[in-house]
Structure 1
């Protein structure tokens, strides 16, 4: 009976770990992300260091649905947006007037799946518009755009 009990506990723990590392971040991951963001806001950690880390990062979902002027939003929100956006654009290339996104999973970037899908769909939509445009929409991606995002 104890072997069965031990096996069930091990299986439950594995399932819990898998579910916690997938998706949109659990409560602990989000609390840690908030704490690290506060470190950047207070000047105790550099934005670049956090952006390049493997720490989970997310931003308020309301920014998916409304335009975000980085100069007008609170510093805390700006830092989170910059980090997630940096991690996305670090893996985007422009070739033959199409955006190519080289990452297949949100967990590879340590960001929420919702943010990953949002950006992925945005790239797909821009590619579609460029492909169907009668007046030849030219897509743009400035050199080293990801790094420039951290300097805004």
Structure 2
């Protein structure tokens, strides 16, 4: 996040100060003041009411830094082994999306190709073209399969 007000907008879905005030139970002028001051206690209150990560809230408010969070995790033995495969996969996807500045679109599309052993009998597919040549000899000049480059 670039600043606290950006985090508030993202976390609340762009809710107005009045809507946030109603959700957290304080007046809207107090909400505005807390946003302007990047109040960490207010950040935690918003995180709780909008089901956001409280650590992200504290980082956005400037109460702690990303480096402090990382150091805490390392000092307390939180590492890769503490994550499930699904959590690690999601982290990779999130990082790739951020690197590509992707929005809601997928990183890549997948197209299904019929396999030679599929039930599509109307396809004339030669299974040999899908397999790598595992022979121990390469074609020599004069062989039918020989070519000298592109």
Q: TM-score of the superposition, structure 2-length normalised?
A: 0.22
User: Could you say which structure has the higher strand fraction?
Assistant: 1
User: Could you say which structure has the higher helix fraction?
Assistant: 1
| Bigger relative CO (Cα 8 Å, ≥ 6 apart) | 1
Which structure has the larger Rg over C-alpha atoms? 2
Q: TM-score of the superposition, structure 1-length normalised?
A: 0.21
